[in-house]
Structure 1
Amino acid sequence: MIGRGRFALTALAFGYAFLYLPIGVVILYSFNESRLVTVWGGFSLKWWGALFANEAMLSAAWLSLRIAVVSATAAALIGLAAGYVLARAPTFPGRTLFGSLVIGPMVMPEVVMGISMLLLFVGSDRLLGGPERGFLTIAIAHTTFSIAFVAIVVQARLADFDRSLEEAAMDLGATPWVTFLTVTLPLIAPAVGSGWLLAFTLSLDDLILTQFVAGAQSQTLPMRVYSSVRLGVDPQINVLATIIVALAASLLAVSGWLTRRKA
């Protein structure tokens, strides 16, 4: 038993080191004095200052944040409706097709989604005078991709929901819509918030889908980082990665706190 316990701890330590040691190295080298990302030249904050003076990188980050907020909000609203229907309407004509369409973006390769959306936006622009590729098309693509994640979170929350609370509200004269707004929605709000944070993180991180639907003048943060590292890793990328890790960790902490609140 002792041998098995040591083996399990060793395997666990190796797994965590494999996953998080590279991230720790990136964070450490964001405070490196040397321009060479593999040579430690002493502690320094100069690359942090250089990043915050990089207008192109800051502009891309601001665009990514705006797209993430818009797409996450739209995905939360649509995903809430989809998850509610999947949880509360177990049988209706076309339910299997509807559920497959909602979950489809989770299992569909992003390359396929990117090509299909590119053809959609190009065709709509030529035939109907649709929007040019840019902020709006990226937000629509990210919303389509994120709806599935929000719907699954909401559906899972409604699966163990105590419906006697809704029945009590309707027995007291509340309409179904009032019951939803005053009873159901406040109780599932932590799940909706968790879905919003998940959609926000996915939008902020996406590269493949964005490359298909972005215009020439719309370069998001992942696109800017990818184009930068193709010419060699700049120390500013380490700083940017550190900030993103801190932001993602904060969002995960908030999501976990919101999820625990439902208890």
Structure 2
Amino acid sequence: MPKPVHLSRFNIAALSLGLAFLYLPILILVIYSFNDSRLVTVWGGWSLRWYREFFKDGAMIDAALMSLRVAVASASIATVLGTLAAVALSRGAGFRGRMLFSGMLYAPLVMPEVITGLSLLLLFVALNAERGFWTVTIAHTTLTMCFVAVVVQSRLVALDKSLEEAAMDLGCDPLRAFVFVTLPLILPAVAAGWMLAFTLSLDDLVIASFTTGPGSATLPIRIYSEVRLGVKPEINAICTLVIGLITVLIVVASLASKLSSERGESAAPL
């Protein structure tokens, strides 16, 4: 049984300062989203005024819906491709070009987003593709697929391969063994990967700004264009709604990842 960890006063103070540095600005933003005043720095009492203003703002609503559509589409495509890539890396250890494939798959993890966005823009221009919903979706799929692969591969490594081998000994081909044996065990990890991809897509600004076109601005782009002219209280309300949505998704993804880890440990060889 692990021994309890006793934190010193210095560690507690350092932890408190770190958490305050990270989350105090967010807390202030959330509080001021309920401010009745037109001035973002002057408190005028509690009110839902700016939330009502947001739901009356057609341009913001359109941008929010565009972001949701892009996030759902790109996360779904990235989950399928990332899961297949994770299976290839964890179950096909000896195939030729594995190192090159792994490096290309995980490159977006360390590649600056401005380079990724610029390279995709040049690609779409060379293909004479009209920039809009699908170009942003493809760009976000490129960005998020590697994150899904990391999450799913970490769960596949913990699983016992003998379970799949036993299924194939009983008459299943590799595809059926994966669908009926492996996939149910890694499903929480797949769901966690989808939620992570959805969150990253919903939050992206740099890559979307390179690959979007007229009439297809996402919510982060719209917020950035509004902020350049001055912060309006409505922006606080919008950001609070986004923070709430992402918080819910992170909590659900964490619970799904924990469940996947527990199931992976129970299926791992003793």
For 1:6 and 1:257, the matched residues in 2 are separated by: 31
The answer to whether structure 1 residue 59 and structure 2 residue 49 are counterparts is no
Give the match for residue 231 of structure 1.
Answer: 229
The answer to whether structure 1 residue 12 and structure 2 residue 15 are counterparts is yes
The answer to whether structure 1 residue 113 and structure 2 residue 111 are counterparts is no
Name the % identity.
53
Uncovered stretches (5+) of structure 1, i.e. residues with no partner: 126-130
Q: CA deviation at 1:256?
A: 1.2
State the Cα deviation string for residues 108-157 of structure 1 (Å, max 9, x = none).
Answer: 111111111111101111xxxxx300001000000011111011111111
In structure 1, give the amino acid aligned to 2:173.
T
Higher mean displacement: 116-125 or 160-169: 160-169
Q: CA deviation at 1:164?
A: 2.3
Higher mean displacement: 158-167 or 44-53: 158-167
The answer to whether structure 1 residue 25 and structure 2 residue 25 are counterparts is no
Q: Which one of 252, 256, 259 corresponds to residue 258 of structure 1?
A: 256
Give the match for residue 153 of structure 2.
Answer: 155
Aligned pairs, number: 256
Q: 1:43 to 1:107 in 2, by over 3 A?
A: same
How do 1:159-238 and structure 2 match up within 5 A? 159-238=157-236
In structure 1, give the amino acid aligned to 2:195.
L
Q: What SS does the aligned partner of 1:261 have?
A: helix
Q: CA deviation at 1:241?
A: 1.0
Q: CA deviation at 1:91?
A: 2.1
Q: CA deviation at 1:5?
A: 0.5
In structure 1, give the amino acid aligned to 2:122.
L
The answer to whether structure 1 residue 76 and structure 2 residue 79 are counterparts is yes
Give the match for residue 135 of structure 1.
Answer: 133
In structure 2, give the amino acid aligned to 1:140.
I
Give the match for residue 102 of structure 2.
Answer: 99
Q: Which one of 43, 46, 69 corresponds to residue 46 of structure 2?
A: 43
Q: CA deviation at 1:89?
A: 1.4
Uncovered stretches (5+) of structure 2, i.e. residues with no partner: 1-5, 263-270
State the Cα deviation string for residues 63-93 of structure 1 (Å, max 9, x = none).
Answer: 0000000000000000001111111112221
Give the match for residue 128 of structure 1.
Answer: none
* TM-score (norm: length of structure 2): 0.93
Q: What SS does the aligned partner of 1:44 have?
A: coil
Higher mean displacement: 8-17 or 90-99: 90-99
RMSD: 1.2
In structure 1, give the amino acid aligned to 2:154.
A
Q: CA deviation at 1:4?
A: 6.8
For 2:166 and 2:92, the matched residues in 1 are separated by: 20
The answer to whether structure 1 residue 242 and structure 2 residue 240 are counterparts is yes
Q: What SS does the aligned partner of 1:111 have?
A: helix
Q: What SS does the aligned partner of 1:93 have?
A: coil
* TM-score (norm: length of structure 1): 0.95
